[in-house]
Structures are given as structure tokens and as C-alpha cells.
Amino acid sequence: MTATPGGLPRWLFCAAEQLPKLDGPPSASHGFKMISKYCLNSILAALVAHLLCGPAWAWGSEGHQVIALIAEKQLTPQAKAEVARLLALEPGETLASISTWADEHRSPQTGPWHYVNFPKGDCNFQAERDCPDGRCVVAAIEKATAVLGSNASDEKRLTALKYLVHFVGDIHQPLHAGFGEDRGGNTYQLQAFKRGTNLHAVWDSGLIRSLDMDANTLASQLADSKSSNNASAWNPALAAEESCQLVAINGFYPGRMVDAQYIQRYLPVMKDRLFTAGARLGYLLNRIWK
């Protein structure tokens, strides 16, 4: 999020800038009441706008870390060495720690790179329709892959690695390749886990957190219980279509309450998407540095 002088978020700084300008020194009580009322209203309005318009983060930090940890276990010695060499540019970083970098540095320009919207009823990816000007997660993965395998500077390749690790995770979260009409479930309000939320947030983090496991434990469990045989037979467009097809299943959109039956039905689906993303990310990195 863009910061301003004093470290304030941009939306909060702009709200403060709109405080009324006083021509002369007000009385203490008048000035305090006037500024407090205006400041409160401005900040509340800005906060609401920020929450409503802000981007949703796929999988949350836990999910992205799980995917990175699964991928890391599958790297060839050569790919592991190249990843380590790039990460050494920022000592202390790991594949898991950079997996959320793209969300932490998200901007209006890069926001569309995190998702692709399909029209309801058609999950066949069409670049001109679904990814105008290359502004979608499918094209973002392709671009990051190309940069990472090029002769670009190590700094640019490290940035590409950060994007690639994150976007491969994003595209396997079903609602990041869902329907544009409800912004990938962001406007589908419901009750889940004893609070009000939306369907996108349920898939971002609600289902994962219901397992009450840390990222390392969940990654190890998934790696021990699943096979990565389908890792090589994929491309970004295929992964997007898979996610869209899951969203289109009857029952994926629950009633306005996420109940135990929904959780029981979709926890295995969520686990499979996490593992598949990790396996495919590992395969892709191995292919780049084969």
C-alpha cells in the first residue's frame, strides 16, 4: 500500500488533507469539535471505500506458503541452486517468504494480474475476451516465466520469481478464475465460521484456517498423501479453466450460510488445489532450469 509522509496510508492521508482550513485561530472547543467530526467522517468514508474496493488476496499467506513449500520439495538440484542464488540477493528470504510479496506490493496497475474473469456459463479461456491487453493472471504467469528463463538481470529475474510463485498460487484458487459479475465471489455475502464475510474470503483463508495447521504441517501432509503425476500436463490457461469449472459446479455457491456440509465437501477440493499448485510450480521451475 502506498505510504505518505508520516507513514500514513494514501487513503488516510488524503482524508486528512480534506480537513477544513480555518482562517483564524478557533476556540479550543470549536476547533476540536469541528476537526474531530470532519476527520471522523472523512476517515470512515475512506475506510469503507478502501475495504469495498480493495483487492482480495488469494489463499491468504498460509495458502501461498503451503504452495511454495510443496514446490520447494520437488525442485531438482539445479533448480534449487538457481532459486537459492536469486534469493541470496535478499538474504534471509525463502521461497515461502516471497510467496506473498506480490500481494504486499499490489497496485492498481498490477491488480488485474492476480485473476482472470470468465463470463458465467463459459469457462473456455479466450485471451482477447478474458485477458485484454495481457492484463490477467494467465498472461502474468507467462510473462514471469519468460523473464525468469531469459538473460535479464538477476534483480529482474528475482522479481519475476516473486510474481511467478504467487501467481501460480492465485490461478489455482477457484475464485481467482471465477465470474466477473460478482468479482470472483467478493460481492457474494454470507455467514461463515460465525461471522459475516464473502465467498471469496472463505476460499482465500477461511477453509484453510479451519484446519488449524501451520503451513509446514499442512504442506507436509499434502505432499505425503498426494501424487504429482499431473504436474507436467498443464499451462496457465488450463489451470484457469479448471478453476472456473469448479466455480461453475452446482453447490459451489452455498446459501447464505456456509455449513458443516459445505466445509466437508470442499475441504478436499481446496487441499487438492493447493497441492496441485505446488506440484505445478515445482515442475515449472524445474523446466525453466532443466
- Dist. CA 53–CA 119, nearest whole Å: 21
Residue range(s) defining the domain that contains residue 35 = 10-52
Q: What is the pLDDT of residue 58?
A: 60
Residue 132's Cβ-count burial label (10 Å; 0-12, 13-18, 19+) is exposed
Whether residue 236 sits in one domain with residue 164:
yes
Whether residue 208 sits in one domain with residue 100:
yes
Whether residue 75 sits in one domain with residue 43:
no
Whether residue 79 sits in one domain with residue 30:
no
| pLDDT class of 209 with cuts at 50, 70, 90 | very high
Residue 200's Cβ-count burial label (10 Å; 0-12, 13-18, 19+) is buried
> How many degrees, rounded to 5, is the angle at CA 231 between CA 228 and CA 235?
160
- Dist. CA 280–CA 211, nearest whole Å: 23
Whether residue 26 sits in one domain with residue 109:
no
Whether residue 268 sits in one domain with residue 124:
yes
Task: Report pTM.
Answer: 0.80
Calculate mean pLDDT across residues 257-265: 96
User: Considering the domain boundaries, does residue 263 fall inside one?
Assistant: yes
User: Considering the domain boundaries, does residue 168 fall inside one?
Assistant: yes
Whether residue 246 sits in one domain with residue 268:
yes
Calculate mean pLDDT across residues 87-95: 97
Average pLDDT for the chain:
84
Whether residue 39 sits in one domain with residue 165:
no
User: Considering the domain boundaries, does residue 4 fall inside one?
Assistant: no
CA 2 to chain centroid: 18
Q: Examine the fold and report which residue of 34, 52, 70 is the final residue of a domain before the chain moves on.
A: 52
Backbone angles phi, psi at 244, to 5 degrees: -60, -40
Whether residue 282 sits in one domain with residue 173:
yes
Whether residue 14 sits in one domain with residue 90:
no
Per the structure block, which three cell numbers stand in for 248? 461453475
- Per-residue b/e over 247-283, b at no fewer than 16 CB within 10 Å? bbeeebbbeeebeeebbeebeeebbebbbbbbbbbbb
User: Considering the domain boundaries, does residue 169 fall inside one?
Assistant: yes
Whether residue 136 sits in one domain with residue 216:
yes
Strand pairing category for 189-192 and 195-198: antiparallel
DSSP line for 205-225: IIHHHTT---HHHHHHHHHHH
231 touches 279 (CB < 8 A): yes
- Dist. CA 143–CA 152, nearest whole Å: 13
- Dist. CA 274–CA 260, nearest whole Å: 21
pLDDT of 129 higher than 90: yes
C-beta pairs of 264-271 under 8 Å, 24+ apart in sequence: 266/207, 267/207, 267/210, 267/211, 269/174, 270/203, 270/207, 270/208, 271/222, 271/226
CA dist list (Å): 43 to 14, 29, 46, 48, 243: 9, 21, 5, 9, 37
- Dist. CA 116–CA 105, nearest whole Å: 19
pLDDT of 35 higher than 70: no
CATH number for the domain spanning 263: value is 1.10.575.10
User: Considering the domain boundaries, does residue 229 fall inside one?
Assistant: yes
User: Considering the domain boundaries, does residue 1 fall inside one?
Assistant: no
| pLDDT class of 37 with cuts at 50, 70, 90 | very low
Per residue in 221-257, pLDDT (tens digit) is 999 887 766 677 799 999 999 999 999 999 999 999 9
Whether residue 70 sits in one domain with residue 46:
no
User: Considering the domain boundaries, does residue 37 fall inside one?
Assistant: yes
* Residue 31 or 71, more confident: 71
**What is the three-class DSSP state of 37?**
helix
User: Considering the domain boundaries, does residue 3 fall inside one?
Assistant: no
Residue of 165, 185, 166, 164 lying closest to 247 (CA atoms): 185
Calculate mean pLDDT across residues 140-156: 98
CA quadruple 218, 220, 223, 225: dihedral positive or negative?
negative
How many folded domains does the chain comprise? 2
